Homo-oligomer: A and B are copies of this chain.
Amino acid sequence: MMSNPAIISDRARHLLRVLVERYISEGQPVSSRALARDMGFDLSPATVRNVMADLEDMGLICAPHTSAGRIPTTQGYRFFVDSLLTMQPLASGEVQRLRSELDPDKAIGDLMETASNVLSEVSKLASLVLLPRRFQPVLRQVEFLPLSENRVLVILVTNEREVQNRIVHTARQYSPSELQQAANYLNSLCAGQDLHKVRETLLKEMQETRERMNDMMRLAIEMADKAFAMPEPTPDYVVKGQAHLLSRAETDSVEKLRQLFEVFNEKRDILHLLNQCLHAKGVQIFIGAESGYDALEDYSLITAPYEARGQVAGVLGVVGPTRMGYERMIPLVDITAKLLGAALTQR
Contacts and interface: CB of A to CB of B under 8 A. Distances in A.
A161 interface: yes
Contact of A265 (B160, B240, B264, B347): B240
Contact of A243 (B240, B249, B251, B261): B261
B243 A105 contact: no
Interface of A: 105, 107, 140-141, 143, 145, 147-148, 153, 155, 157, 160-161, 163, 165-167, 233, 240-243, 246-247, 249, 251, 254-255, 257-258, 261-262, 264-265, 347
Copies of this protein in the assembly total: 2
A145 B155 contact: no
Nearest to A106: B167
A155 B153 CA distance: 13
A147 B163 contact: no
Contact of A246 (B107, B157, B258): B258
Nearest to A110: B233
10 contacts: A147-B160, A147-B161, A153-B161, A155-B157, A240-B265, A243-B258, A243-B264, A246-B254, A247-B258, A251-B251
Contacts of A264: 243
A163 B163 contact: yes
A262 B240 CA distance: 10
